[in-house]
């Protein structure tokens, strides 16, 4: 017996719709749509601007992709949606209030100290287990509160839940993505009332929490003819934080397996049974995010391929049609051929957070820090922007500071469109936590919308 499913996968720089056919022995994937995800800058009065997501453009592209998937396979059993974390849409009586803000918008700068004045950083970590990032949802909501926008809303939906609401009319908050907001208790599994009160989030602003694997509804009658080939296809929650879905598809076969999920961000970590909310974990800025089947993804966020994707935009804007660098495989192959030393810089420097001319910023950082800048051109700059010492330091930091064992690393990369695993034997730290549970079967059995219950 085979089952067909459609997956909507929204990344911070691109999106795609994938048709998957699952049989007892294999999985076949077909990309039916791929589209860019480009933020838009909008004037907002008093000479200021705001960085937003083009959520309506994404919605249109998703619809075209699902329609194409239904034409290819009229028997699709379920649709699932995942996306990047932390961002959301505010609604009033079912209508969207403006375009959702991009997490890299600079409005969060003033919101962070305001939240920390009410709840210090160490208290937030103790309550949520979430590492401090200035764009966590809790800070964005504080910015909306201060701007007067939050008071207009009667609902907030994280991006995958917003898409799900538009597809079905049903409002839910999927739990793995909710864990990235900085307001969810990893102990109770519910919203932390003290944090909601401190930020001014009214009760009921977020829809009820649901687990991955929940069928929330079917395509609306107004959408079924175009998107479902006339069928009211069910929509099922997946690990709607894209990293949760990426990790559940990686063959982590014992408690010593670590993963690197590499996309716009590189996320380095492992799965554990319970959150690790200790002073050493907070000092190392490790985070505890919800995983599928009730697991906890204990990981560190590291700047990933964001620098490369922004550099490519800069090079493409200045290039002729014949010399654009949009072919990622060719660009990386050319970068790999660069011989000799290349510039090594701190990819976590805050200057690299907003969108913009990354090759220029890398050059300026190198000049300021007495490092020879990369030679002009995509080849050497790409070679430099993909060699960050922080990626290799993170697993050893995890073992050293948090006393977690790790002996095997698996890499999942949506940007590179490949998955590989490599075995190694790094030193094992004493006092490792107990096993996170039974080993996980290969990805073909697990990474789909219509999952069965976890093994007992």
**Residue 55 has what pLDDT?**
98
Strand partners, 423: 408
What Cα–Cα distance (Å) separates residue 131 from each residue in 94, 179, 258, 350, 390? 32, 11, 19, 16, 16
Distance separating alpha carbons of residues 285 and 234, to the nearest angstrom = 39
**Residue 320 has what pLDDT?**
63
For residue 404 the two structure tokens come to 């977690």
Strand partners, 19: 6, 30
**Residue 453 has what pLDDT?**
34
Strand partners, 4: 21, 76
Burial of 328 (0-12, 13-18, 19+ CB in 10 A): middle
- Domain positions in the chain: 3-240, 243-304+389-440, 306-385
Distance separating alpha carbons of residues 372 and 61, to the nearest angstrom = 43
Closest CA to 315 of 377, 364, 254: 377
**Residue 381 has what pLDDT?**
57
Q: Which residues of the chain have pLDDT under 70?
A: 319-327, 376-456
The answer to whether the beta carbons of residues 357 and 314 sit under 8 Å apart is yes
The answer to whether the beta carbons of residues 449 and 286 sit under 8 Å apart is no
Asked if 242 is an active-site residue, the reply is: yes
**Residue 400 has what pLDDT?**
46
**Residue 376 has what pLDDT?**
64
**Residue 409 has what pLDDT?**
55
**Residue 157 has what pLDDT?**
98
For tokens 């998937």, the residue is 69
- SS3 state at 33: strand
- Catalytic, out of 105, 144, 161, 242: 242
**Residue 412 has what pLDDT?**
57
Distance separating alpha carbons of residues 63 and 223, to the nearest angstrom = 9
Residues near 204 by beta carbon (within 8 Å), at least 6 away in sequence? 154
Q: Which CATH architecture has domain 3-240?
A: 2-Layer Sandwich (3.30)
Task: Count CB-CB contacts under 10 A for residue 336.
Answer: 12
Is this structure's pTM higher than 0.85? no
Q: What backbone torsions phi and psi does residue 110 show, to the nearest 5 degrees?
A: -80, -25
């Amino acid at each position: 017996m085979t089952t067909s499913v459609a997956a909507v996968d929204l990344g911070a720089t691109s999106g795609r719709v994938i048709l998957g056919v699952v049989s007892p022995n294999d999985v076949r994937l077909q990309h039916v749509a791929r589209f860019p995800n480009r933020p838009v800058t909008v004037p907002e009065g008093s000479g200021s601007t705001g960085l937003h997501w083009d959520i309506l453009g994404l919605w249109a592209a998703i619809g075209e992709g699902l329609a194409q998937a239904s034409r290819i396979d009229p028997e699709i059993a379920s649709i699932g949606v995942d996306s990047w974390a932390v961002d959301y849409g505010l609604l009033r009586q079912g209508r969207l209030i403006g375009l959702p803000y991009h997490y890299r918008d600079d409005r969060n700068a003033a919101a962070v100290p305001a939240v920390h004045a009410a709840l210090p950083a160490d208290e937030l970590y103790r309550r949520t287990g979430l590492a401090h990032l200035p764009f966590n949802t809790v800070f964005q909501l504080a910015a909306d509160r201060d701007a007067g926008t939050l008071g207009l809303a009667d609902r907030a939906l994280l991006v995958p839940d917003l898409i799900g609401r538009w597809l079905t009319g049903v409002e839910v908050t999927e739990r793995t993505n909710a864990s990235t907001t900085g307001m969810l208790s990893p102990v109770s599994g519910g919203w932390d009332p003290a944090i909601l009160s401190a930020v001014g989030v009214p009760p009921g602003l977020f829809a009820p929490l649901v687990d991955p694997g929940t069928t929330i509804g079917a395509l609306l009658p107004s959408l079924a003819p175009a998107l479902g080939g006339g069928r009211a296809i069910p929509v099922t929650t997946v690990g709607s934080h894209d990293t949760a879905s990426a990790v559940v598809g990686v063959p982590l076969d014992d408690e010593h397996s670590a993963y690197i999920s590499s996309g716009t961000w590189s996320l380095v970590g492992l799965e554990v049974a319970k959150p690790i909310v200790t002073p050493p974990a907070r000092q190392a800025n490790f985070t505890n995010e919800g995983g599928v089947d009730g697991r906890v993804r204990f990981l560190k966020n590291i700047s990933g391929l964001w620098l490369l994707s922004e550099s490519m935009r800069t090079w493409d804007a200045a290039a002729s049609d014949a010399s654009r660098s949009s072919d990622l495989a060719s660009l990386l192959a050319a970068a790999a051929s660069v011989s000799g030393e290349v510039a090594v810089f701190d990819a976590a420097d805050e200057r690299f957070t907003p969108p913009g001319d990354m090759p220029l910023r890398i050059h300026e950082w190198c000049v300021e820090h007495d490092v020879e800048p990369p030679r002009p051109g995509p080849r050497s700059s790409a070679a430099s922007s993909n060699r960050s010492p922080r990626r290799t330091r993170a697993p050893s930091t995890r073992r050293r500071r948090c006393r977690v064992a790790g002996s095997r690393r698996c890499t999942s990369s949506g940007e590179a469109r490949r998955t590989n695993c490599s075995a190694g034997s790094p030193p094992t730290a004493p006092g490792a936590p107990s096993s996170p549970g039974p080993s996980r079967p290969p990805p073909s059995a697990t990474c789909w919308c219509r999952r069965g219950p976890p093994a007992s």
